[in-house]
Amino acid sequence: MELPSLTDFFARWRAKPPVPFSVLFKKFKSILERNNAILGLIGDMGDKLGGDYIFDRQYILDSCERLGDQVFKLVSDLSLLCQRKNVGLFTAFERISYEIREELAGRRVLSRTDHLLPLCDLTHDLVDEGGNKMANVGDIRNILGFTVPEGFVITAGAYFEAMERAGLRGRAAEIPTKFAGGDLDGLTEVAVQLQKDILAMPLPKGLAKAVKLAAKRLAAEHGQMLAVRSSAWGEDGESSFAGMYESVLGVSPEQILSAYKAVLASLFCEQALRYRLQRGLFREEPAMAVGVMRMVQARVSGGLYTYVPLLEHDQPMVVSAAWGLGKPIVEGTAETDTFFIGRDPPHELLSSEIGVKSTRLVLDAAGGTRTEDVPAEAAASPCLDRDQLTLLAKTAMSLERFFKRPLDVEWAFTPQGELVILQARPLSIKPKTCTEGPDVAEATKDVPVIISGKGVPAMGGVSSGPVHIVGEGADLSDFPYGAILVTHHSSPRFARVMPKCRGIITEMGSATGHMATIARELRVPTLVGVSDALSILREGQEITLDADHIVVYQGVVEALCRYELGKEDVFEESWEYRTLTRVLKHISPLTLLDPDADSFSPEKCKTFHDIARYVHQRAVDKLIALSEEHQEIKESAPHKLITKLPLGLTVIDVEGGLAAGARDEIREEDVRCRPLRALLEGMNASGMWETCAVAVDMGSFMSSVTRTMTASQSHPTTLGRNLAVISEEYLNLHLRLGYHFTVVDAYLGESVNDNAVLFRFMGGVTDFTRRSRRAGLIAAILEQYDFVVKISGDMVTGRAKKHPEKAMLDKMFMLGGLIGYTRQLDTRLGSDDAGRHHFDTFVQRINALREARQ
Amino acid sequence: MTNEPDRPDAPEPPAEVGGAGKARTSILVLDDEAIVCKRLKPFFQKAGYEVEAFNNPTEALARVKERRFDVVITDLKMEGLDGLAFLGKVKELYRDTDVIVITGFATLETSRESFRKGVFDFVAKPFKLAEILDVVRRVEKERGLAP
């Protein structure tokens, strides 16, 4: 027998629905299952970034393939369910898949096409556009909050466009293949020719104009000179390329384009080509972003190594400094002062050597720089005082903790006394004593362990410092520099002290929650879920936190901290970590939020998560429509459940979920589906359905100003359609109340082993902190009732399995209460205290009701 | 074979550190994915183990012929020498070396074969650091290597 083609299938369908409802329902169920599998897979991939997993290249490739396969099938399932081809959705799928494939192939997908990126917008999220060096500068400015020279970046995308237009991109890309054999004969000629061509190439008109204008603006305010700096992919990252690329100082706006091309050309200097070929760094196409920054009027400038393996000084940091601009210091042509300072607070001055600094380099009023004499009394006196040294030391240690390795920091003090960080790059010198493994093992052997094996690392790493306990709602403005934050609940409000703190330990919280995400961004070693941290740790106690091994040691374990700094490879900089981070950008963010908005369309799907969300919504809509249109169902009657509460619920009874002979409109008494009965009972129970008026609150303007929760919105006719698919033992419920979206899927059958409840809560358009509080509150409540809970961003998923029927029904009752209770909660979660208060209130109320019910 | 391998009953004396005289459990890690070695080596070192890591099966095999390790952690699927073959060679040389297989592609067939060859346990990739540490600790417990 020949199988009918898909077109025939659709054609016949349109003529007369030949497919029984039960078959369509199966398709619907498989969409739900696949949707769950996809969300699970996305969550799993995100977990791998936490630092406690070992994964390899193969894992990334496999996961992307599996996920792509599932998403494709999900879209196909929807086409079958809706008898539509869904071209838009398949196109979106293809586009996202393509972007992921490009990322995996090392051809990075640039998210910005405007080619110029102001420094204030740059962090390492945009490292692909800004290059490593400038992304570091961006992090220093925008994440850590230190002062850097003002400026902008001409992105890697600009480089690609310029090279492409000049017909040079292909030639550059061929080089690795040409010399892959290891025979480097002829490399010199290739390098020289390509550089010559780059210097001579015309720049795209739009780009040239934009760069000239931006440079003029940057310089004009003070008539200043500019520094044009290389910022290639990989430079100052896992491979240093130190000093191979060009940086041009003292550039006037008129010279900007030639300086720009000079920096681009240096990407192909022989030394760099050789380095890339020898280190096998040709998995990724090279690219050069270029930073343009204002030259700083410096009174004093210099360099700082955060770590010098000098035995007589017990590994201090060293500062070299001189009057004027830093160039002669970096080049080693100037006499300088040298200061050795302790790495730990209070950063004691260990020793200093004061040189005679008879000349200095200064900016010339007429443009460029000039060397001038230093007055005799200044020449022989130290050019930094104690306060300046302390400020430098503190700043440098903050940078080192963030970048996780010893650094070479270039800095300057302005005539007004402000510290400006010019750049920071990893030091190639490794701390001497830390690369020898046995020492570190020995070092921890006799150290008292305070906590071990408790909690989950949200961000790996090692750090030491005094404990600072932060209570709920405590003022964070006096958080001590260099302390380890210990607290009960994780909260994203700790973001503001993260640059100051060395580590975080919380009693509650999730490794995939908002705070964890921020801790990873700031690279603060973090353990969450350390159940009794507050009763074990005391304020001010010196500890060493090893989040990788889930251990807290008594005191400062020097060797361990040093070992951490000396590790050759920073995990966050590995190909695997960066690639997974990059592919996840096309996978996990959820940008389709509001199903009623025009933007809720296939064309607007930016990630696989968006596609899954879209399909899910459309499948639910379709099933509701089917329940009204499908002949079988029509004959057996579409049911509107008249509830005491305004739920607007359509019920589809697959088998035995309603009393025999139920009519179109049914009442709660007609429901035979056990999980739904228990759920409704919980919703209806007194005090569970929140009806207080919602005050207008500027903090949550999204939910209360633009979408005032008025009576009209809780009216069933405007609620939209909610759907429950039921049988006697099964409930699948999709409930949209306001902007919260809840899914309950419960099966309570004969065998305890089959019993399972899934509860999922997401959405709600309010600010970040409130969403996070709400997620935290719901998670805490679910955990209280033995659900296994996972938080990914806004979405909370709780699962309970294999409990006996009575316990399961009790959970359904609780969930009913929870849905009602959290309905309008966002606006009332103004503080962490409020979160705690609502937890207590809910648990107290529902427990009383549960007892009465038993 | 030119070198007579060490006999299981006459292992190389364990490394001693700083005169402490305490023997450390020794681990060899073999995986052709560099990231696995790069992360496991410092992790186990910090946890107090003596660790050598190899990306190349041939080099690892040469090293195993030179000295005995208490624990060998190996991937199954690699270019060159297959992990199963490596496992067999290790067990041939030292019956009391315990081998832990880490792999992303465990089929029923390969796991059956590995167990026949005396593998201590399987850990599916990707895994948590704590998971693999647990397996090593179990080896130590069974072999009486740890207090």
- Specify which residues A151 forms β-bridges with: A293
Q: Which among A56, A550, A569 has the least Cβ separation from residue B125?
A: A56
Residue A247 falls inside a structural domain: yes
Q: Is residue B2 part of a domain?
A: no
How many Cβ pairs closer than 8 A exist between chain A and B?
91
- A142 and A82 fall within a common domain: no
Judge whether residue B63 has pLDDT over 80: yes
The residues facing A230 across adjacent strands are: A290
CA distance A409 to chain B (A): 27
Pairwise pLDDT comparison (A773 vs A215), residue with the higher score: A215
Q: What confidence category does residue A237 fall into, taking pLDDT thresholds of 50, 70 and 90?
A: low
Give the residue from A579, A589, A650, A619 showing the smallest Cα distance to A128.
A579
| A130-164 pLDDT per residue, tens | 988 899 999 899 878 899 999 999 999 999 999 99
Q: Is the pLDDT of residue A14 over 70?
A: no
Domain extent for B123: 26-141
pLDDT at B11 over 50: no
Using DSSP bridges, classify how beta strands B50-54 and B26-30 pair: parallel, antiparallel or unpaired.
parallel
Question: What stretch of H or E contains A528?
Answer: strand A526-528
- Domain with residue A485: its CATH number is 3.50.30.10
B10, part of any domain: no
Whether the pLDDT of residue A284 is over 60: the answer is yes
What's the pLDDT at A699? 33
Of A53, A62, A563, the CB nearest to B104: A62
| Co-location of A191 and A276 in the same domain | yes
In which band, very low, low, confident or very high, does the pLDDT at B104 lie, cut at 50, 70 and 90? confident
Burial of A823 (0-12, 13-18, 19+ CB in 10 A): buried
Res B102 pLDDT > 50: yes
The confidence score (pLDDT) of residue A153 equals: 95
Same domain, A356 and A391: yes
Are A373 and A465 in a shared domain?
no
A574 interaction partners in chain B (CB closer than 8 Å): 35, 38
Task: Retrieve residue A821's tokens.
Answer: 């209770």
Q: Is the same domain home to A176 and A234?
A: yes
CATH number of the CATH domain containing A379: 3.30.470.20
Do B62 and B38 touch, CB atoms closer than 8 A? no
Residue B68 in domain: yes
**Domain for residue A259, yes or no?**
yes
Asked if residue A346 has a cis previous peptide bond (ω within 30° of 0), the answer is yes
Write down the number of H helices and E strands in chain A: 26, 31
The Cα of B2 is separated from the nearest Cα of chain A by a number of Å equal to 32
CA-based nearest residue in chain B for residue A47:
B128
User: Are A234 and A135 in a shared domain?
Assistant: yes
pLDDT at A592: 81
Closest CA to B96 of B21, B26, B22: B26
Whether A314 is in a domain gets the answer yes
Helix or strand or coil: residue A798?
strand
Same domain, A379 and A487: no
Q: Are residues A140 and A239 in the same domain?
A: yes
Nearest residue, CB atoms, A56 vs list B17, B35, B133: B35
Query: Do A670 and A597 reside in the same domain of the chain?
Result: no
Same-domain check for residues A673 and A810:
yes
Q: Which is more confident, A594 or A756?
A: A756
The share of chain A scoring above pLDDT 70, in percent, equals 83
Q: Can you tell me the mean pLDDT for A792-812?
A: 86
Residue A627: inside a domain: no
Contact A54 B127 (CB under 8 A): yes
pLDDT of residue A381: 92
For position A149, which CATH number holds?
Answer: 3.30.1490.20
| Tokens read off for A515 | 């705070």
As a whole number of Å, the CA-based R_g of chain A is: 31
Cβ <8 Å between B47 and A549: yes
Indicate the residue of A441, A546, A576 with minimum beta-carbon distance to B24: A441
| b/e code A111-132 from CB counts within 10 Å (16+ = b) | ebeebbbebebbbbbbbbbbbb
Lowest average pLDDT, out of A615-619, A707-711, B3-7, goes to A707-711
Poorest-pLDDT segment among A196-205, A365-374, A761-770, B48-57: A761-770
Nearest to A610 by CA among A632, A630, A633, A593: A593
The mean pLDDT value for A361-371 works out to 78
Give the percent of chain A with pLDDT over 90: 29
For chain B, the straight-line distance linking the first and the last C-alpha, in angstroms and rounded, comes to 38
What pLDDT, in 10s, does the model give residues A206-224?
999 999 999 999 987 666 7
Tokens standing for residue A454: 């408790």
Higher pLDDT, A399 or A564: A399
Region A358-380 average pLDDT: 84
Alpha-carbon distance A69 to nearest alpha carbon in chain B (angstroms) = 18
For A311-365, write each residue's pLDDT tens digit: 555 668 889 899 998 888 877 778 889 998 988 778 889 888 898 899 998 887 7
Span A408-417, average pLDDT = 93
A575 touching chain B per CB within 8 A: yes
What pTM does this model have? 0.64
B8: in domain: no
**Most trustworthy range by pLDDT among A827-836, B96-105, B111-120:** B96-105
Domain membership flag for residue A624: no
Domain ranges, residue A215: 116-294
A56, B15: Cβ pair inside 8 Å?
A: no
Q: Is A445 on the interface with B (CB under 8 A)?
A: yes
A195-A197-A199-A203 Cα dihedral, nearest 10 degrees: -130
Contacts of B43 in chain A (CB under 8 A): 548-549
Burial class (CB in 10 A: 0-12, 13-18, 19+), A283: exposed
Query: Domain count of chain A?
Result: 5
Q: What integer pLDDT is reported at residue A391 of this predicted model?
A: 93
User: Is residue A12 one of the residues assigned to a domain?
Assistant: no
Greater model confidence, A801 or A810: A810
On the question of pLDDT at A544 being above 90, the answer is yes
Q: Is residue A631 part of a domain?
A: no
In a domain, B147, yes or no: no
User: Considering only CB atoms, which chain B residues are within 8 Å of A437?
Assistant: 41-42, 45, 50-51
Q: Which of A239-243, A819-823, B105-109 has the lowest mean pLDDT?
A: A239-243
pLDDT the model gives residue A496: 77
Tally of domains in chain B = 1
Residues A290 and A304 both lie in one domain: no
The pLDDT tens digits of the residues spanning A462-512 come to 888 999 999 877 788 888 878 999 998 877 778 778 877 889 999 887 776
φ, ψ at A135 (rounded to 5°): -65, -40
Residues of chain B with a CB closer than 8 angstroms to some CB in chain A: 15, 17-18, 20, 22, 24, 31, 33, 35-36, 38-43, 45-51, 102, 104, 125-130, 132-133
Average pLDDT over residues A422-432: 71
A419 is written with which tokens?
A: 């510290």
pLDDT at A845 exceeding the cut of 70: yes
pLDDT for residue B20 is more than 50: no
Per-residue confidence band for A671, with pLDDT thresholds at 50, 70 and 90: very high
Give mean pLDDT, residues A604-611: 93
Classified as helix, coil or strand, A11 is helix
The torsion of the CA quartet A319, A321, A326, A332, rounded to 10 degrees, works out to -80
What tokens does A146 get? 């230190």
Q: Is the pLDDT of residue B74 over 90?
A: yes
- Provide the CATH number for the domain around residue B136: 3.40.50.2300
- Our CA-based measurement puts residue A423 at a distance from the nearest CA of chain B, in whole angstroms, of 28
